[in-house]
Amino acid sequence: MTVTIITPEGQRQVQSSAFTVGEVLQVAGIRLRAGDNVEPPTNTSITNKLIINYLPSRALTINADGKVVETQSSARTVGEALAEAGIPLLGLDYSLPSEDEALPSDGQVKVVRVSESIVLAQKPIPFESELVASADVPLDQTQILSPGENGLSVQRVRVRYENGVEVSRVTEEETLVRPPRTRTLAYGTKVEILTTVVDGVTIEYWRAVQMYATSYSPCRLGTSTCGSTTASGKQLDKGVVALRTDLYRSLR
């Protein structure tokens, strides 16, 4: 009888008086191995013009769940081979190569187990500060009008694990639980006349500023030129201080 054999290398017709599909393949020089796929099955009786589909199995090494499984498979896709080996992909699991791809040429397949969890995380929201002028607060002093308070939000975070190792965190939603309250500071503008005694003399003042003072030299260092006035022309005397005008402008 005339029989057509279809293999991955193509198809051919053979004349055979064999009784079963398995015998025809053996006569055709095709040696069957465990895991080979034959349609119709090898014990099927031969009829004229019968078409036999033969797909040889391939050696696969499957790395899954911390174990290595050696197997033979004639599956058309990685997913089918994994199902045959009793290692199905569940939920978010995936394989390398992908489950819908053909079996890899190197026979290496890796299964990645994927799980996800939802975490609710609290996130503080820092408060801001503002300054306001107050005529009730003495000059150069500050007063807290409102202490301020940090706000609070709750984040819904999706955590993804692959083979038990965390690979990503994605914030899906953030809910404001408590808004922050601004801290308000009042800086004083109230001028008060104060008194103090300096060298036995009572003086009045409205602002005291700490300064680092240096002495004037009546003669310029390294020259014979001497003088008794400041750069601004003032006479050197008690109570006269030097000042960097550029720094003074920046402080103002």
Each residue of 48-101: pLDDT tens digit?
888 888 887 888 999 999 999 999 888 889 999 999 899 999 999 999 999 999
Compute the radius of gyration of the chain from its Cα atoms. Answer: 46
pTM of the model: 0.57
Q: Pinpoint the alpha helices (H) of the chain.
A: 21-27, 78-84, 245-251
**Which residue in 98, 118, 109 sits closest to 161, CA to CA?**
118
Helix (H, G, I), strand (E, B) or coil at 161: strand
Give 2-55's CATH code, choosing from 1.10.10, 3.10.20, 3.40.50, 3.90.1200.
3.10.20
Residue 247, phi then psi, degrees to nearest 5: -70, -40
pLDDT at 241 over 60: yes
Residue type present at position 76: R
**Which residue in 107, 33, 112, 101 sits closest to 70, CA to CA?**
107
Each residue of 119-142: pLDDT tens digit?
999 999 999 999 999 999 988 889
Helix or strand holding residue 51 (H, E)? strand 50-55
